[in-house]
Structure 1
Amino acid sequence: MNFKLVKTILLALSLGFFAVWVLEFRRAGMFESYWLLLLSVMCLLVFQFRRLKASMELKKKQTEEIENQKLSSSKPAKK
Structure 2
Amino acid sequence: MNSKLMRTILLALTLGFFAVWALEFRRAGLLESYWLLLVSIVCLLIFQFVRLKASMSAGAKQQKEVAPTRQIATKKPKK
Report runs of 4+ in structure 1 exceeding 4 Å deviation: none
TM-score, L = length of structure 2: 0.82
Higher helix share: 1
Instruction: State the percentage of identical aligned residues.
Output: 67
The aligned amino acid for 1:28 is A
Other-structure match for 2:51:
51
Larger radius of gyration: 2
5+ residue gaps in structure 1? Answer: 75-79
Q: How many residues align?
A: 71
How big is each residue's C-alpha offset from its partner over 1:1-22, in whole Å with a ceiling of 9 and x where there is no partner?
Answer: 1111111111111111001000
Give the number of the structure with larger relative contact order, counting CA–CA contacts within 8 Å between residues 6 or more apart: 2
5+ residue gaps in structure 2? Answer: 71-79
